[in-house]
Amino acid sequence: MKNKGTALILVLAAAIIISIGTVAILQAMISYAQLRISSCERIKAQYLTEAGMQYAIAQCRKGDFTSPVNVTTEGWPIKITKQEQPDGSYRITVTVQYPGL
């Protein structure tokens, strides 16, 4: 009669341990998914910035680049500015207004 509740306690302890493990695994999966989405968004923003830079270079080669220029690529606004440096070169700045970053 002494060991009557032992099985119940063992089953509850096992259920608690399995629950904690499941929660930990789910949190890790959610964290990984959020990290992956964030990484993809950063890559998209980088490519949009590079597209803006290529646009600025093409406009400079044509000789009709006036600053600032606002371009939209795949629905995302890109602002391109050109600043003349003291040595006669130009500094081109590309800004992408990408939400979530």
Residue 75 gets the label, from left (phi > 0), alpha (psi -120 to 50) or beta, of left
Which one, of 96, 91, 87, lies nearest residue 65 by Cα?
91
* DSSP strand pairing (90-96 vs 69-73): unpaired
Q: Identify the band that residue 49 occupies on the pLDDT scale cut at 50, 70 and 90.
A: confident
pTM score > 0.85 for this model?
no
Provide the Cα torsion 48, 50, 53, 58; round to 10°: -100
User: What is the enclosing helix (H) or strand (E) of 16?
Assistant: helix 6-62
- Please write the tens of the pLDDT for every residue from 62-88: 877 777 778 777 777 888 888 888 887
Going from N- to C-terminal start, the domains of the chain cover: 6-96
**Better pLDDT: 15 or 56:** 15
Which one, of 25, 92, 99, lies nearest residue 61 by Cα?
92
